[in-house]
Structure 1
Amino acid sequence: MAKPNKKGPTRTVDIFCAQCKAQLFTYRKGGKGALIKCFKERIVKDNTQVACTCPECGQIFARDTLVRGAPAYKIVGGKVTFK
């Protein structure tokens, strides 16, 4: 399987918790579709202390997994928003 592009896209988006609106990540996202997974190598700034858990409200918003051989967070539907 092909791995994701190391350099990745240049456009960054801010990812927020849908419940308390706390900022979770700044992420280099490619394409214009929904946010389904976040490759760890594309995360520019990580505001979480515990992986996959919101620092403000403690909600679990993702699962730690491997996608195409690269470590990633698989986002749980409806738990995050992004701009």
Structure 2
Amino acid sequence: MSKPSKKGPNNTVNIYCKGCNYHLFKYRKGGKGALLKCFKERISQNFTNTPCTCPQCQQIFARDCLIRGTPAFKIIGGKVWSK
């Protein structure tokens, strides 16, 4: 399988914690589908202190993994919402 494009999309979405509405990421997302994974190279602003954990409510919202050989966060369903 091919790696995600280095350039990436231009439009960004804001990703928030579902439990406390804390702003977690500003992410360059491509396509219209649901947010399933966040490639680390596409995160433009990261507001978390520890990876995959909300700084305000300490809820784990993702898992650190490799997708197609690229480091990414695999989002746990129902833990985040995006706008």
TM-score range, shorter chain: over 0.9
2:69, 2:76 → 1: CA distance? Answer: 20
Match status 1:39 vs 2:62: no
**Partner of 1:24: helix, strand, or coil?**
strand
Distance 1:53 1:6 in 2: 26
Shift of 1:3: 0.3
- What is the percentage of aligned positions where both structures have the same residue? 65
C-alpha displacement of 1:44: 0.2
Structure 2 counterpart of 1:71: 71
User: TM-score of the superposition, structure 2-length normalised?
Assistant: 0.99
Deviations 1:10-67 (A, max 9, x none): 0100000000000000000000110000000000000000000001000000000000
Q: Secondary structure at the match of 2:13?
A: strand
CA RMSD for the aligned pairs?
0.4
- Count, aligned residues: 83
Question: Could you tell me how far apart the structure 2 residues matched to 1:16 and 1:61 are?
Answer: 10
Give the aligned partner of residue 25 of structure 2. Answer: 25
Would you identify which runs of 4 or more consecutive aligned residues in structure 1 move more than 6 Å? none
**Which residue does 1:60 correspond to in 2?**
60
5+ residue gaps in structure 1? none
